[in-house]
Amino acid sequence: MAVMNPLGSRNIIIIDDNYIGEYSQAYMEVGKQIDDIIIKYIGILKGIIDDGSMKGLTAGKLYSFADTASMLLFKTAGVLCDNNKSNMQKFIQDIDEADREIY
């Protein structure tokens, strides 16, 4: 967490590594949960078609929708959360590197 405190004419920025680490892990957990929900949803859609209760054009369109949803799964929350985690870790590394240069 970054906190800015006025100190005379300067601002001090405090970066809490643990806070960022905890939130990057939380992002990953939420992303996995969302991906799991999407996977179950796709399974339900395909199950409706596979059990034979739906036929014809409607079944074809539903199956096409489920396939499209499967392809989009790779661009959803899990991937985005993984990217956020990577960005947070890079941020900490960049701050640590800047600190080494200053001190």
Task: Note if the pTM is more than 0.85.
Answer: no
**Segment 21-73, tens digit of pLDDT:** 787 788 788 888 888 888 898 888 888 888 877 778 888 888 888 888 888 77
pLDDT for position 8:
55
Report CA Rg, the chain: 22
- Left if phi > 0, otherwise alpha if psi is -120 to 50, otherwise beta: which for 56? left
The residue among 41 and 102 whose pLDDT is bigger is 41
The answer to whether 7 touches 16, Cβ cutoff 8 Å, is: no
Q: Name the H helices within the chain.
A: 17-50, 56-72, 77-102
For residues 8-24, give the mean pLDDT: 69
pLDDT for position 72:
76
For residues 72-81, give the mean pLDDT: 75
